[in-house]
Amino acid sequence: MPGGNTRHTVYRQPHQVYAARGEGCRIIDIDGNMRIDAVGNFTALIHGYGSERIREAARRQLEAGLCFGMPTEGEVILSEMLCDRLPSVEMLRYCNSGTEAVMNAIKVARAFTGRPKFAKCEGAYHGTYDPAETSQEARPDTWGEVDNPVSVPTARGTPQGVLDDVVVIPFNNTPVAEAILRAKGNSLAAVLVDVMPNRAGLVPARPEFLAMLRRVTREIGALLILDEVITFRLGYHGAQGRFGVDPDLTTLGKVIGGGFPVGAVGGRRDVMAVFDPTAGAPAVPHGGTFSANPMTMMAGIAALEDLTPEAFQHLDRLGALFDQGIAACFARHGIPGQVTGLGSLRRVHLSDAPLSDFRSTFAAGDGAKRVAALARALFEAGVLIAANGLMAFSTAMTAEDIQEIVDTFDRALPRAFA
Ligand SMILES: Cc1ncc(COP(=O)(O)O)c(C=O)c1O
């Protein structure tokens, strides 16, 4: 495997450290070292490793059969649960990753509107589908003027034709984004947005920014796609409930599979009809050998059953405890730092500059080495977070676990500046 593993995002120097197992909120590597897992497979494991309900659901399915060339009851039950929680979602289709969910949403929007382009926010990560990853790695020498951001390729060799069909808007900059969207008007099939994009800073969207996106998409006849692959974990009704957004399409992944591979696209009945084969060939054919695979469906149902309103209150409390602890930690060391995020999601920044979007986060030094050095120091000291400072708390955690994370930060912080 190039680099010694299969995921660029978990690559570690000078060599890989391989995981062996998990227990509760802890991860144990093959050398027997135990750490608090404060990233939960990049936000997927909202219940940590400890949920007996998920394990039991998976065991039962294991006995019944791993996967079939027929639909199963599990996909009906999970769909009912998701439609119940997300009023904007009237119909759903499954796939196996958030990347596919976003790809499908874009294809649906193109088929429904008959338009070729979509808009996305600079720096936002939506998986690795060519158009969706545009400008995710934009840099000062490539990103262009703030009022006219360039569509920057992420993978070398991305065809110019792909980039030409992606309109890049600045996150949280309402007047500039509105002007760009109106200028592209009738060529846009959709606007794709994550209300708190991790790679663009994990800064919550401003209410006026989201209101503008909803208003303008309706006026220009484009769909609003909310990428909730990560943010569904922000509340019982997802981020759309927490932020009061009414999207046309929603993409889901991560927690809705209970730890198994998953993705889903859902939304308005008339829009989702592009998948409907009842009257002949659908506008968007969609298959997938493992789409809606029963192991994922059963684990996902179990995960949602444990995601009660009380579970979200607990997660919010953990987030608030972390904020208090970490603020005291920065103050004690006299180190400029701040934490962004909401609910069970946090991102640590070693800068006190105001953050609102990708460019301000980049300028504040996030792209630089200090946060990565902090993540390495935490790893050595017993806490796993993402290299960019992203953290995701789980229902398996207690206030004591958060205190342990904060205490470990306290020891690791000076080493990020050593
Ligand atoms: C907002 C968002 N969309 C899509 C994806 C892609 O999901 P997956 O890794 O399951 O392909 C991610 C992954 O982190 C994500 O954060």
Distance between Cα 278 and ligand 1 center (Å): 31
Q: 315 and 284, same structural domain?
A: no
Q: Which of 276, 305, 334 is the last residue of a domain?
A: 305
Give Rg (Cα) of the chain. Answer: 21
Contact 397, 318 (CB under 8 A): yes
Task: Give how many domains the chain has, as a whole number.
Answer: 2
**Distance (Å) of CA 392 to CA 7, 197, 234, 359:** 19, 14, 11, 23
Q: 111 and 26, same structural domain?
A: no
Catalytic residues: 125, 227, 254
Any idea what the CATH number is for the domain that residue 96 is in?
3.40.640.10
Two tokens at 91?
């119909």
Show the domain range for 319: 2-50+308-416
Q: Which of 268, 290, 305 is the last residue of a domain?
A: 305
CA distance 122 to 149: 8
- Residue closest via CA to ligand 1's atom 13 equals 127
Any idea what the CATH number is for the domain that residue 354 is in?
3.90.1150.10
Q: 26 and 136, same structural domain?
A: no
Q: 315 and 295, same structural domain?
A: no
DSSP character string of 150-212: ----SSTT--HHHHHTEEEE-TT-HHHHHHHHHHHGGGEEEEEE-SS-GGGTSPPPPHHHHHH
Q: 266 and 138, same structural domain?
A: yes
Q: Which of 242, 272, 305 is the last residue of a domain?
A: 305
Find, among 172, 174, 168, the residue nearest to 153 by Cα.
168
Mean pLDDT by 10 residues, the chain (418 residues): 92 93 98 98 96 97 98 98 98 98 98 98 98 96 97 98 98 98 96 97 98 98 98 98 98 98 98 97 97 98 98 98 97 94 97 94 78 95 96 98 98 88
Helix (H, G, I), strand (E, B) or coil at 140: coil
Strands 263-267 and 223-227: unpaired
Contact 214, 246 (CB under 8 A): yes
pLDDT score recorded for residue 337: 93
CA distance 282 to 401: 50
pLDDT score recorded for residue 367: 63
Q: 62 and 42, same structural domain?
A: no
Q: Which of 193, 195, 229 to mutate to test the pocket of ligand 1 (most atoms within 8 A of CB)?
A: 229
Distance between Cα 109 and ligand 1 center (Å): 19
Q: 237 and 92, same structural domain?
A: yes
pLDDT score recorded for residue 395: 98
CA distance 167 to 186: 12
Pocket lining for ligand 1, CB < 6 angstroms = 42, 97-99, 102, 125-127, 194, 198, 227, 229-230, 253, 263
Q: 105 and 43, same structural domain?
A: no
H or E element at residue 91: strand 91-95
Q: 157 and 73, same structural domain?
A: yes
pLDDT score recorded for residue 369: 80
Q: 8 and 144, same structural domain?
A: no
pLDDT score recorded for residue 418: 77
